[in-house]
Chain A
Amino acid sequence: MSLDTTDSYVTEDGRTIGGVVMEMKNITLRFGGVVAIKDISFDIREGEIRAIIGPNGAGKSSMLNVISGFYHPQEGEVWFHGRKRPSMKPYQVAAQGIARTFQNIALFDGMSVLDNIMTGRLTMMKSNMLQQAIWFGRAEREENQHREQVEKVIDFLEIQAIRKTPVGRLPYGLKKRVELARALAAEPKLLLLDEPMAGMNVEEKEDMSRFILDVNDEFGTTIALIEHDMGVVMDLSDRVVVMDYGKKIGDGTPDEVRNNQDVIDAYLGVAHD
């Protein structure tokens, strides 16, 4: 299967959505007796914002973990850029241009904000141990080049003032933003966001929404995000997958999903009662 660009289209707000970059085929993931994901298939197109929604325990995070190579499904296939992906370790998946943030913030607490974001570029740093030990020359040049890119991300997310702060000292909302910065520093082709706005106040949510839209718009980054706030999902996403008890119960544009009876029963009904 080659990259399908025949049915690429332009959205209302003028962004071009391309062909399929990632396709999950009949994924089933079990933990002992618990079936976290039951025979789910869906695709992600180039340049789109794809939301995954569903009640607690539906299997959304598990799905991102399958994409990250952190969980290995018992059945099903993951296709990336038109090729079936062999079983991979998470660091190999990262090297393919997939970056992510976590539902529970997973920053490196003992390091500064700057160092945390610099770790996002580790897969691109090529100097060997000996060159790094000597420092002068290749290692130093590389460090400065990557620092320059990281500074762009820092400017983009407006976190200049906290550059040198140890992340442990930051408030929750800023930690979420630094985690996004670390993922963006990797210049991913596919960005996975697990509840990027959980626990934020309205203002912080607006900021974060703006950043997500800007990332997608300015860098053309494909984004898959999990979010519980329906308003945000409806505003941001091009297409939505709805999961419930490990099964897919809906897939389509926000409007289609909103009017899907199964979805209303399983999810929206609960959320709005």
Chain B
Amino acid sequence: MIYREAGDFKTSYRKDSQTFPLKFDRVAYFVLLAVAFLVIPFIINDYWANAVLVPFLIYAIAALGLNILTGYAGQVSLGTGGFMAVGAYSCYKLMTGIDIFGVEFPPLNIFLSVIVSGGITAVVGVLFGLPSLRIKGFYLAVATLAAQFFLVWLFNKWGWAYNHSASGQINAPERSVFGIIVTGPETAAWAKYLFCLVFVFFVAWIARNLTRGAAGRKWMAIRDMDIAAEIIGVNPLLAKLSAFAVSSFFVGIAGALFFSVYLGAVEVGEAFGIQKSFLVLFMVIIGGLGSIFGSFAGAAFMVLLPVLLKNVLVGALGWPTDLAAHLELVIVGGLIIAFLVVEPHGIAQLWRLAKEKLRLWPFPH
């Protein structure tokens, strides 16, 4: 009985509603935080940052965003890539300085640029969320798909958005926070990692707080039975649009980081196409709909799988790269179907079940 609940009594409602009610989990959480903030920055190298950790952190933010909308509020979205693009292009404009009808805004600090990009994406998300008041499920998915294609098209055509660069690409100039370079080609691996980690920490914290309180209950009520939700006093308009706003805020931050810190240069169709929408959706499904932990698990899984397959199949077994890539698609496709059919709550639920087993271990009952 390594993992136990017994003897862990709650003496107040505050303690009962905390994030990690069990002492064991709480300790594990703080150890994880300490390692993430105090150990990894010192041992990280370029390969680990670029292939694993930075994309994992950024996708975790995007997955948290989509999970709020789809997992908690039950509104399906296939527009994640498009909303990430809004975050990316907002960030580009903010960090390079904007000229609106002759009024010049100087380049904004990169940290603020990322946050404001999230805010702009939230506004765009609410606009594209308006149809959700009338349409549901499959039809809403199609509407968000339209948003996806429209946004990619827009950032391809709208010269102002990419400062009329000849290539149509956007490139992140060098920017620093407290004298530490966090964007541009000179950025150190640990700086990229730490910059993203700070955002992940706050986004996860906000997501957790919102989902355990009144907002989360409104979203879940709308998700589970919208008619009953309205009759007990939930305003469906506000509940749905607030989910779109919070979700898009997170997704916008992810897009801004993906462009400025991770890729450095972006061509919209390539970086934020429909594949991106599906990738994040798969993370949420495999990780677990309606779970904060699941968003992390799904992001980790989808980032690690190709790295692992590449190392094992191509590196160790000498398979051709394209065959390994195809196998990856087959595995992901199979897993999506398996999870949707057998375990809609994803890895998060498997983890919960494993903990229930652990609680009894080594006794079978």
Q: Which chain B residue has the least Cβ–Cβ distance from A99?
A: B232
Stretch touching chain B among A13-21, A28-36, A72-80, A117-125? A117-125
B210 touches A118 (CB 8 A): no
Report the bound CA distance from A110 to B345 in whole Å. 11
A43 within 8 A of B: no
Stretch touching chain B among A52-60, A87-95, A243-251? A87-95
Report the bound CA distance from A102 to B213 in whole Å. 25
Report the bound CA distance from A100 to B230 in whole Å. 12
Q: Which chain B residue has the least Cβ–Cβ distance from A100?
A: B231
Report the bound CA distance from A132 to B206 in whole Å. 8
| Contact A143/B235 with A91-B230, A108-B221, A109-B224 known, Cβ cut-off 8 Å | no
Partner of B234, one of A91, A102, A127: A91
Report the bound CA distance from A123 to B16 in whole Å. 23
A118 touches B217 (CB 8 A): yes
Instruction: List residues of chain B with CB within 8 A of the CB of A151.
Output: 13
* Binary B-proximity of A174-193 (CB < 8 A = 1, otherwise 0): 00000000110010000000
Report the bound CA distance from A119 to B216 in whole Å. 10
B242 within 8 A of A: yes
Instruction: List residues of chain B with CB within 8 A of the CB of A122.
Output: 214, 217-218, 221, 232-234
Write the nearest CB–CB distance from A124 to chain B, whole angstroms. 9
Instruction: List residues of chain A with CB within 8 A of the CB of B224.
Output: 107-111
| Contact A186/B223 with A133-B206, A133-B210 known, Cβ cut-off 8 Å | no
Instruction: List residues of chain B with CB within 8 A of the CB of A123.
Output: 232-233
| Contact A129/B232 with A108-B221, A111-B224, A147-B13 known, Cβ cut-off 8 Å | no
B230 touches A127 (CB 8 A): no
B228 within 8 A of A: yes
Q: Which chain B residue has the least Cβ–Cβ distance from A94?
A: B233
Instruction: List residues of chain B with CB within 8 A of the CB of A217.
Output: none
Instruction: List residues of chain B with CB within 8 A of the CB of A111.
Output: 217, 220-221, 224
Report the bound CA distance from A135 to B202 in whole Å. 12
A66 within 8 A of B: no
A4 within 8 A of B: no
Write the nearest CB–CB distance from A138 to chain B, whole angstroms. 11
A135 touches B213 (CB 8 A): yes
* Binary A-proximity of B199-239 (CB < 8 A = 1, otherwise 0): 00000001001101111011011011101111111111000
B17 within 8 A of A: yes
* Binary B-proximity of A139-163 (CB < 8 A = 1, otherwise 0): 1101110011001000000000000
Report the bound CA distance from A151 to B10 in whole Å. 14
Report the bound CA distance from A119 to B228 in whole Å. 11
Q: Which chain A residue has the least Cβ–Cβ distance from B74?
A: A110
Report the bound CA distance from A129 to B244 in whole Å. 13
Instruction: List residues of chain B with CB within 8 A of the CB of A127.
Output: 213-214
A68 within 8 A of B: yes
A134 within 8 A of B: yes
B221 touches A135 (CB 8 A): no
A106 within 8 A of B: yes
B232 touches A139 (CB 8 A): no
Report the bound CA distance from A127 to B210 in whole Å. 11
Q: Which chain B residue has the least Cβ–Cβ distance from A182?
A: B232
| Contact A70/B231 with A143-B17, A147-B13, A148-B13 known, Cβ cut-off 8 Å | yes
A119 touches B221 (CB 8 A): yes
A129 touches B233 (CB 8 A): no
Report the bound CA distance from A69 to B210 in whole Å. 29
A108 touches B209 (CB 8 A): no
A39 within 8 A of B: no
B290 within 8 A of A: yes
In the complex, chain B residues 46-77 whose Cβ is within 8 Å of any chain A Cβ: none
> Can you show 12 pairs from A to B with CB atoms below 8 A apart?
A70-B227, A90-B231, A94-B233, A111-B220, A111-B221, A122-B217, A125-B213, A127-B213, A133-B209, A140-B14, A143-B213, A148-B13
- The interface of chain B, by Cβ under 8 A from chain A, is 12-14, 16-17, 206, 209-210, 212-215, 217-218, 220-221, 223-225, 227-236, 242, 246, 290
- A132-B210, A143-B213 known; 7 other A-B pairs, CB under 8 Å? A91-B232, A91-B235, A94-B231, A115-B220, A140-B14, A147-B13, A186-B232
